[in-house]
């Protein structure tokens, strides 16, 4: 298994602490690939529409809050 360097491990702990400090349980996250992860307001999205892509449902609900940008590709996978 690959290992983080000491500097990478410290950075990862800081990032995780920052994410854990989120002041709301209503923020959801998704990515469709690229270097960003989109934040959205969860209670405002109606997931009952089985015909639309998830990102379209978020936009239809006007629930998009912003994006987090990563220095490298965030791969979108399922499973």
Per the DSSP assignment, residues forming a β-bridge with 66 are 39
Report pLDDT for 3: 97
For 21-69, the pLDDT digits (tens) are 999 999 999 999 899 999 999 877 777 777 888 899 899 889 999 999 9
Report pLDDT for 50: 75
Length of the chain as a residue count: 79
Report pLDDT for 79: 66
Q: From residue 37, how far is each of 51, 74, 76 by CA, in Å? A: 22, 8, 10
Q: At CA 24, angle to CA 21 and CA 26, rounded to 5?
A: 135
- Region of 62 (left: φ > 0; alpha: ψ -120 to 50; beta: rest) is left
Report pLDDT for 44: 75
Question: pTM for the whole thing?
Answer: 0.82
Sequence-distant (≥ 6) Cβ neighbours of residue 52 within 8 angstroms = 60
Report pLDDT for 43: 79
């Amino acid at each position: 298994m690959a290992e983080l360097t000491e500097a990478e491990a410290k950075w990862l702990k800081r990032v995780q602490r920052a994410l854990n400090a989120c002041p709301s349980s209503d923020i959801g996250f998704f990515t469709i690939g690229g270097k960003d992860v989109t934040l959205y307001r969860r209670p405002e999205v109606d997931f009952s529409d089985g015909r639309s892509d998830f990102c379209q449902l978020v936009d239809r609900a006007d629930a998009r809050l912003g994006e987090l940008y990563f220095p490298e590709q965030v791969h979108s996978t399922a499973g």
